[in-house]
């Protein structure tokens, strides 16, 4: 048997056995039908989950949860989201929910589960991070936007929840939160580390236990997958991604400053960065501050790309004093 890797996808459906020919149970019976999806290209590069596929029926309680079924408790939902899922699984989950006719009910259950997560122990904040992440990607309603704004503005929330809420709100078009979050990254080395660390965690450059959130980057791991994804995102022109343009350019520059390699041919990377400026100019012509910061962040990235030795060979973090652009002075 293969292994359940952290980049596998698992689609699960529940079907109630009804009266019919050859099926007349005396008590209600439900069948769980699952399909395992595995990408060999990605799973071959990740650490294996200690559970084998032979034990797939015994994987932690959170696997078998129906977000629509009224009998599913908010505690079960909170518990499910307290365990790590791969990028592939997250995408499959989002697509499945978006196609449902009962998305409103799912959103309500997710919001309730956010507060129910208070009763979890070590994985409480991770569960909330994941619920907030999902809400911002499946629902654009005013209710969800207000919820995300509340989670961001509550400074008592841990960084792993606030960062996720900010990202989700920005993708939905909250320009005020985008500015606040950008300023936070510019002025706080700790939040800059968490932002990089979450990219490394999400794109599977590093593995962090759910109880050890938030993930923070100290420049001691590779960032190949995160950087590949960031450069892919810089080529996208959809509204949600363009809203994050100056933040993602800031993130690329921050990775370069901590000695990470460029995932592309340097000429191609420069071409993508210059095009990223043009895309924003077309979409946000009436926001000079945003355009100025995008141009500034792109300029930082381009200046780092002009020094191939620095981008390609600096593999360890050296500290802000070594950077050509003083830390925190661009905002």
Confidence of residue 106 (pLDDT cuts 50, 70, 90): confident
Considering the domain architecture, whether residues 29 and 50 belong to the same structural domain is answered as: yes
Q: 46 and 68: one domain?
A: no
Kindly state whether residues 130 and 55 are assigned to the same domain.
no
One domain, residues 324 and 208: yes
Residues 73 and 53 occupy one common structural domain? no
Place of tokens 């079924």: 69
Note whether 248 and 306 are same-domain residues: yes
Displacement of CA 165 from its chain's centroid (Å): 11
Instruction: Give residue 137's domain range.
Output: 61-172
Query: In this structure, are 25 and 86 located in the same domain?
Result: no
| pLDDT of 98 | 67
Clarify whether residues 39 and 65 are in a common domain: no
**Of the candidates 15, 38, 59, which is a domain's last residue?**
59
Instruction: Identify the sign of the CA torsion 191, 192, 193, 196.
Output: positive
In a domain, 137, yes or no: yes
| Residue 21 located in a structural domain | yes
Q: For residue 159, is it within any domain?
A: yes
Number of domains the chain contains: 3
248 and 110 fall within a common domain: no
3-class secondary structure, 67: coil
Whole-Å CA distances, 27 to 19, 163, 181, 276, 305: 11, 46, 53, 60, 67
Q: Is the same domain home to 228 and 277?
A: yes
The CA–CA distances, whole Å, from 152 to 83, 108, 176, 184 equal 22, 19, 11, 12
Alpha helix ranges (H) inside 174-287: 175-187, 189-202, 224-233, 239-243, 245-257, 266-283
In this prediction the pTM is 0.70
Is the pLDDT confidence value at 58 over 50? Answer: no
**Least confident span in 137-141, 169-173, 301-305:** 137-141
319 and 196 co-located in one domain: yes
Residue 76: per-residue pLDDT: 78
Give 201-253 pLDDT, tens digit per residue: 888 888 877 777 778 898 888 899 999 999 999 999 999 999 999 999 999 99
Whether 181 is covered by a domain: the verdict is no
285 lies in a domain? yes
Instruction: Write the pLDDT tens digit of every residue in 26-50.
Output: 667 776 666 555 444 444 444 444 4
At 154-164, the pLDDT tens digits run 999 989 899 99
Q: Are residues 307 and 283 in the same domain?
A: yes
- Residue 325 located in a structural domain: yes
């Amino acid at each position: 048997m293969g292994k359940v890797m952290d980049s596998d996808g698992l689609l699960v459906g529940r079907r109630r056995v009804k009266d019919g020919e050859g099926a007349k149970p005396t008590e209600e019976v439900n069948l769980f039908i699952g399909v395992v999806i595995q990408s060999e290209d990605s799973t071959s590069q990740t650490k294996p989950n200690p559970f084998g596929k032979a034990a797939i029926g015994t994987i932690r309680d959170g696997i078998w949860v129906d977000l629509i079924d009224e009998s599913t408790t908010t505690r079960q939902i909170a518990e499910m989201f307290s365990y790590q899922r791969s990028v592939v699984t997250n995408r499959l989950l989002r697509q499945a929910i978006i196609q449902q006719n009962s998305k409103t009910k799912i959103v309500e259950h997710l919001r309730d589960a956010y507060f129910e997560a208070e009763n979890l122990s070590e994985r409480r904040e991770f569960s909330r991070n994941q619920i907030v992440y999902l809400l911002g990607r499946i629902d654009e309603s005013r209710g969800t936007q207000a919820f995300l704004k509340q989670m961001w503005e509550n400074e008592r929330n841990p960084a792993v929840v606030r960062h996720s809420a900010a990202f989700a709100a920005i993708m939905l078009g909250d320009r005020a939160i985008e500015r606040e979050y950008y300023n936070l990254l510019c002025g706080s080395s700790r939040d800059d580390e968490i932002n990089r660390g979450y990219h490394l965690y999400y794109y599977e450059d590093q593995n962090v236990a759910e109880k050890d959130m938030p993930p923070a980057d100290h420049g001691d791991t590779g960032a190949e997958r995160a950087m590949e994804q960031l450069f892919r995102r810089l080529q996208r022109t959809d509204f949600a991604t363009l809203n994050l343009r100056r933040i993602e350019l800031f993130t690329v520059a921050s990775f370069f400053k901590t000695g990470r390699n460029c995932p592309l041919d340097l000429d191609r990377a420069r071409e993508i960065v210059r095009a990223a400026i043009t895309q924003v100019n077309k979409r946000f012509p009436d926001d000079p501050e945003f355009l100025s910061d995008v141009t500034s962040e792109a300029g930082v990235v381009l200046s780092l790309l002009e020094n191939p030795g620095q981008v390609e060979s600096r593999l360890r973090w050296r500290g802000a004093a070594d950077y050509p652009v003083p830390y925190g002075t661009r905002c």
